[in-house]
Amino acid sequence: MHCTNFPAASRGLKPLTPGRQGSLRLIVFPHAGGGAAAFQRWSAGLHQEIELYAVQYPGREERAHEAPLCQPQSLINQLMPVLQPLQDKPLIFFGHSLGGRVALALAMALPQPPLQLIISASSSPFLARHSQLLRMPRAALLNALCAGEGLDESLIGDSALVDYYLPLIRADLLLSSQLLFPVQPGYHARWRCFMVKTTN
């Protein structure tokens, strides 16, 4: 699997409310296989005092020509100088699934943590995940992703989409498997964690 660092850090963060001058900034971190477009519709529903920025990982959307990344430290090192200048206003981090772990990693790395850290659909940061998925062949991995990771089953029938997304998802699973955190008693920030339990 070929992975890369961010070649240009400014491309790692996409403004979704360009020109807006709010009083705080919401930084959103996409799920595995996802990109900034997953949050595009949020801009219309946000209060005018909130500026919206989405992290854009390599390998998707306008960065589709770049190889995906799979080394957490390179991501942290490249995003830190992009995020720090934005801290002239309060920051709120929101991460979904893989994005939850990435958001936590950045929140812990910044000298000044965000005002709030909001995480949804993400496993405990102290537990290893996805090591079994990483060893699966294509068909078994697709079935496992549909069964337990929220992948739309209709995608399996579209070989072009599978060819596009599967390398991204594999790289993101590898990234997630390395995002493990020891207990950090000195870390202080407001947390919001959401869980939905279904019977289906």
Q: How high is the pLDDT of residue 87?
A: 93
**Domain CATH for 105:** 3.40.50.1820
pLDDT tens, position by position, 52-73: 999 998 888 888 888 888 888 8
- Does residue 18 lie in a domain region? yes
Residue 23 token pair: 């009083």
* Confidence grade of residue 37 (pLDDT, cut at 50, 70, 90): very high
β 50-55/91-96 pair status:
unpaired
Instruction: Domain of residue 189: give its range.
Output: 9-126+182-194
The whole-angstrom separation of Cα 134 and Cα 141 is 8
* DSSP class per residue in 20-73: ---SEEEEEEPPTT--GGGGTTHHHHS-TTEEEEEE--TTSGGGTTSPPP--HH
Residue 50 lies in a domain: yes
- Averaged pLDDT score across all residues of the chain: 82
108 lies in some domain: yes
**pLDDT for 195:** 67
Does 25 map to a domain? yes
Neighbours of 195 (CB within 10 A): 8
How far from each other are the two terminal CA atoms of the chain, in whole angstroms? 35
Q: DSSP assignment, residue 186?
A: T
In a domain, 146, yes or no: no
The answer to whether residue 24 scores a pLDDT higher than 60 is yes
Residue 145 lies in a domain: no
pTM assigned to the model: 0.83
**Average pLDDT of the segment spanning 24-38:** 93
Q: Burial-class residue 109 by CB neighbours within 10 Å (0-12, 13-18, 19+).
A: middle
Helices (H), 110-193: 131-134, 138-148, 159-178
pLDDT score, position 194: 66
> What pLDDT score does 7 carry?
38
Q: 99 in a domain, yes or no? A: yes
Q: Over the stretch 119-168, which tens digit does the pLDDT of each residue have?
A: 888 877 776 666 677 777 777 777 777 776 667 677 777 788 888 888 88
- On whether residue 13 sits in a domain, the answer given is yes
Distance (Å, rounded) from C-alpha 142 to C-alpha 54? 27
Identify the pLDDT of residue 182. 66
**How many domains is the chain built from?**
1
